[in-house]
Copies of this chain bind each other. A is one copy, B any other.
């Protein structure tokens, strides 16, 4: 995470942006739990523990910037909130292979790495002339724990 923090500061400098403590705090929250998918409000609550005077608008503004810089990814579960997770340092390659599994029972979000879609993208280019540059894949279903709880009863 220290490495990521340095990378973040580097990015900021390159873009002529300032390294404020709020900005760093927000980044740290995201980086501290790489597998969690935070809501803007959740980030706000988390940052407020250390930084009680921070405003929600600041969180939103920084999330947006982080997203523009490509350091965090958006995830929309269609429940009215946009969620954010820290991106993989080796991101261009990583994001493409990173899918989300969403449990319909407990609401948990899991990630799954795979590159099978590459073939599909080739096929799309061949048949449709559509050049894929990115994708978003969500699988809905039942996670191991919930599936077992169901069959176990």
Contacts and interface: CB of A to CB of B under 8 A. Distances in A.
A137 interface: yes
Interface stretch (A14-22, A35-43, A45-53, A124-132): A124-132
Contact of A143 (B112, B123, B129, B148): B129
Interface residues of A, number: 37
A59 B7 CA distance: 48
A140 interface: yes
A120 B116 contact: yes
Nearest to A119: B116
A144 interface: yes
A79 B147 CA distance: 34
Interface string A77-108: 01000100000000000000000010110000
